[in-house]
Amino acid sequence: MLNVGKIEEGFVLDHIPAGKSMSIYYHLGLDKLDCTVAIIKNARSNVMGKKDIIKVECDINTLNLDVLAVIDHTITINVIKDGEIVEKRVLELPLELKNIMKCKNPRCITSLEQELPHIFYLADPVRELYRCKYCDEKNSERF
């Protein structure tokens, strides 16, 4: 049996669909932080069959967690303080995303004005569809 030690301060991302943990690792920018990260891939789960888990020892407020909701809003976040879970967060699809995805429309103003932020709004929550704020192009990017 694999044993990964408990963390004192940080957070645990749980119920990640199997195989998505590395994408989350890079999209959250965990590779650029100087903190301890444990990635558990293909852990057994009674509900999901297999799942990934990420344990991170850093302040959760330093990260933009909107990307998690876009990847899969069923991921749960357990905030850890003094070795105990003090808060459980459930993700919701954000109404607006800024600089998480890029507009692929070559005629979009973001293609010409490189310094403009890439902003998408939630157009259809049921289909989890985002559209560009500037040109209304739908996002086809999947993490």
10-90: CATH topology is Alpha-Beta Plaits (3.30.70)
**C-alpha–C-alpha distance, residues 126 and 82, integer Å:** 38
pLDDT per residue over 45-92, tens digit each?
888 899 999 999 988 888 888 888 888 888 999 999 988 999 998 888
The span from the CA of 57 to the CA of 99, in Å, is 25
Q: Which of 87, 93, 96, 25 is nearest to 54 (CA)?
A: 25
> Strands across the sheet with 129-132, in order?
96-98, 119-124, 129-132
Q: Where are the domains of the chain?
A: 10-90, 96-132
3-state SS assignment for residue 14: strand
Per-residue pLDDT, 66: 83
Q: pLDDT over 90 for what percent of the chain?
A: 47
Nearest alpha-carbon partner for 41 in 50, 52, 30: 52
Query: If you write DSSP's letter for every residue of 70-125 in order, what string do you get?
Result: HH-TT-EEEEEETTEEEEEEE----SEEESSS----TTSHHHH-TTS--EEEEEET
Let me know: does 126 contact 117? Beta carbons within 8 Å.
no
> Residue 2 has what pLDDT?
61
**Average pLDDT for 86-100:** 90
